[in-house]
C-alpha cells in the first residue's frame, strides 16, 4: 500500500508522540521525587494529609490526583520513614498528623545528596 | 489539639447538613468500602476516616455555592477509590498473607490481584499453579498411609532415586519408610512459606511502582 501521509501529517504525529513521551517522563520524575518532597516538607513541621497534598500541589504547580498520596504516605509509614497520630480538633473530623521519623531524617539526607549529584551532573552536561 | 484514640463511632456524616451532599458522600463512601472490603475492620475504618477527614477539610475551603457541589469537587479531586486505593489494599492484604500464611487470606489476595495490571495477573497465574502443585504434592505425601509400599522415596541398587508413586516396587527399596510423611509435609510447608514470601516481595515491588 502506498504511503499517503503528508509531511505535515507526519510532523503532527511526531509532535503528538513526543508530547506523550514527555508527559510520561514527567509523571515518572514526579513519582520518583514525591517521597523526597514529602520528607522535605515534614522535616520542618508535622502535616495532616490534606494540608500536605495542598502544599505539594502548590510547589509542583500541577494537579496531583489527591487520593494517590494516601497509599504513598501509608507505605512510607510502613517503611518507618514517617509516623502518624490522630488528633481531635475543636470542631469537625479528627486529623491524622504525619511526622518525619529519625530513620526518615537519615533517608532524607541520602536522598538530598543523590538529588544534588544528579542535578550537578545535568548542569555540567547542559553547559 | 488533643490526641485521638480511634473509634468506629466517629464515622458517619456529622459534617454535612445538606441532603444531596450527604447522598453524594454516602455513594462515594460505599465505593470506598467495596474496595476496602478484604481488609480487617479497624484498618477499613481508619482509611475511611482519613478520607472523610480529607473531604471535610476540602469542603471547608471550597468556595462553591452549595455543599453538594463542594463534596462533589472534593471527591473528584481525590479520584476513583478503585484506582488510588488499589496499591494500599494490595500491600496490606499481602502483608497479612505473608505474615500469617493463612490460606484464605492468600486466596483472597490472589483474587484481589486479578483486577490489577497484566503483570499482577501473570503473577496470580504463576502463584496459582505453584500452590496447586504444592497441594497435589502434600496430598501425594499423605497417600502413603493408603499405599505404603507404592508411595515414598525409593532407591534402586544402581543408586538412582524415585520420588512419588511407583507401580513396580521391585527392585526399589523404600528409603524413608513412614518418615516420608512428616518429612514430605515439612518440605511442603517450607515451600509454601518460601513461595508466599517471594510472591509478597514481588507484589510489594509491583504495587510500589503504581503509587504516586
Q: Residues B55-91: pLDDT tens digits?
A: 989 988 988 888 899 999 999 999 999 888 877 787 7
Q: How confident is the model at residue B10 (pLDDT cuts 50, 70, 90)?
A: very low
pLDDT score at B144? 87
Question: What is the DSSP annotation of B55-115?
Answer: HHHHHHH---SSHHHHHHHHHHHH--HHHHTHHHHHHHHHHHHHHH--HHHHHHHHHHHHT
Place of cell 502544599: A55
Domains of chain A: 34-126 (1.10.10.10)
pLDDT score at B210? 59
Averaged pLDDT, A69-75: 87
Q: How confident is the model at residue B1 (pLDDT cuts 50, 70, 90)?
A: very low
- Alpha-carbon gap, residue A94 to A110, rounded angstroms: 34
Q: How confident is the model at residue B2 (pLDDT cuts 50, 70, 90)?
A: very low
Contact B1 A89 (CB under 8 A): yes
Averaged pLDDT, A63-90: 87
Q: Above 50 in pLDDT, residue B8?
A: no
**A17-39 tens-digit pLDDT:** 888 898 888 877 877 788 999 99
Domain boundary assignment for chain B: 11-81, 85-212
Q: How confident is the model at residue A99 (pLDDT cuts 50, 70, 90)?
A: very high
Q: Above 70 in pLDDT, residue A114?
A: yes
pLDDT score at B104? 82
Which of A30, A74, A93 comes nearest B53 by C-beta? A93
- Alpha-carbon gap, residue B48 to A92, rounded angstroms: 15
Residue ranges of the alpha helices (H) in A43-101? 49-60, 69-78
Which of B15, B49, B86 comes nearest A92 by C-beta? B15
Q: Above 80 in pLDDT, residue A77?
A: yes
State which residue of chain A sits closest to B87, comparing Cα positions.
Answer: A71
Q: Which residues of A touch B6 (CB under 8 A)?
A: 86
Q: Is B52 exposed, middle or buried (0-12, 13-18, 19+ CB in 10 A)?
A: buried
Mean residue pLDDT across chain B:
82
Contact B56 A70 (CB under 8 A): no
Query: CA of A91 to nearest chain B CA: how many angstroms apart?
Result: 9
Place of cell 529519625: A102
pLDDT score at B54? 92
- A69-78, B140-149, B203-212: which has the minimum mean pLDDT? B203-212
Q: Which residues of B touch A86 (CB under 8 A)?
A: 3-6
Contact A66 B47 (CB under 8 A): no
Which of A53, A71, A86 comes nearest B211 by C-beta? A71
Q: How confident is the model at residue B145 (pLDDT cuts 50, 70, 90)?
A: confident
Contact B51 A68 (CB under 8 A): no
Chain A interface includes B212 (CB < 8 A): yes
Contact A71 B53 (CB under 8 A): no
**B179-197 tens-digit pLDDT:** 888 898 999 999 999 988 8
Query: CA of A45 to nearest chain B CA: how many angstroms apart?
Result: 15
Interface of B with A in 120-139 (CB under 8 A): none
Chain A interface includes B76 (CB < 8 A): no
pTM over 0.80: no
- Asked whether the CA dihedral B32, B82, B69, B23 is positive or negative, the reply is negative
Amino acid at each position: 500500500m502506498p504511503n499517503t501521509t503528508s509531511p505535515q501529517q507526519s510532523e503532527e504525529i511526531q509532535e503528538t508522540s513526543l508530547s506523550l513521551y514527555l508527559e510520561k517522563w514527567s509523571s515518572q520524575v514526579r513519582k520518583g521525587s514525591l517521597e523526597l518532597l514529602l520528607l522535605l516538607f515534614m522535616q520542618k513541621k508535622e502535616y495532616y494529609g490534606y494540608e500536605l497534598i495542598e502544599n505539594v500541589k502548590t510547589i509542583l504547580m500541577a494537579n496531583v490526583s489527591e487520593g494517590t498520596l494516601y497509599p504513598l504516605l501509608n507505605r512510607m509509614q510502613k517503611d518507618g520513614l514517617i509516623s502518624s497520630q490522630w488528633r481531635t480538633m475543636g470542631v469537625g473530623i479528627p486529623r491524622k498528623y504525619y511526622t518525619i521519623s529519625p530513620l526518615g531524617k537519615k533517608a532524607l539526607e541520602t536522598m538530598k545528596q543523590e538529588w544534588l549529584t544528579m542535578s550537578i551532573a545535568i548542569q555540567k552536561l547542559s553547559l | 489539639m488533643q490526641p485521638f484514640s480511634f473509634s468506629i463511632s466517629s464515622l458517619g456524616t456529622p459534617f454535612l447538613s445538606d441532603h444531596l451532599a450527604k447522598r453524594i458522600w454516602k455513594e462515594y463512601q460505599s465505593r470506598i468500602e467495596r474496595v476496602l472490603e478484604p481488609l480487617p475492620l479497624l484498618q477499613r475504618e481508619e482509611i475511611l476516616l482519613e478520607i472523610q477527614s480529607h473531604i471535610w477539610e476540602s469542603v471547608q475551603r471550597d468556595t462553591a455555592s452549595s455543599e453538594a457541589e463542594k463534596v462533589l469537587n472534593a471527591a473528584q479531586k481525590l479520584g476513583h477509590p478503585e484506582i488510588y486505593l488499589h496499591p494500599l489494599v494490595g500491600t496490606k492484604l499481602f502483608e497479612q498473607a505473608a505474615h500469617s500464611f493463612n490460606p484464605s487470606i492468600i486466596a483472597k489476595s490472589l483474587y484481589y490481584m486479578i483486577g490489577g495490571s497484566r503483570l499482577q495477573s501473570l503473577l496470580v497465574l504463576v502463584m496459582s499453579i505453584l500452590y496447586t502443585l504444592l497441594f497435589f504434592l502434600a496430598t501425594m505425601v499423605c497417600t502413603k498411609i493408603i499405599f505404603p509400599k507404592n508411595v515414598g522415596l525409593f532407591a534402586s541398587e544402581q543408586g538412582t532415586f524415585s520420588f512419588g508413586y511407583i507401580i513396580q516396587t521391585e527392585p526399589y527399596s523404600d528409603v524413608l519408610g513412614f518418615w516420608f510423611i512428616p518429612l514430605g509435609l515439612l518440605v511442603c510447608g517450607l515451600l509454601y512459606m518460601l513461595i508466599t514470601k517471594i510472591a509478597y516481595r514481588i507484589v510489594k515491588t509491583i504495587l510500589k511502582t503504581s503509587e504516586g
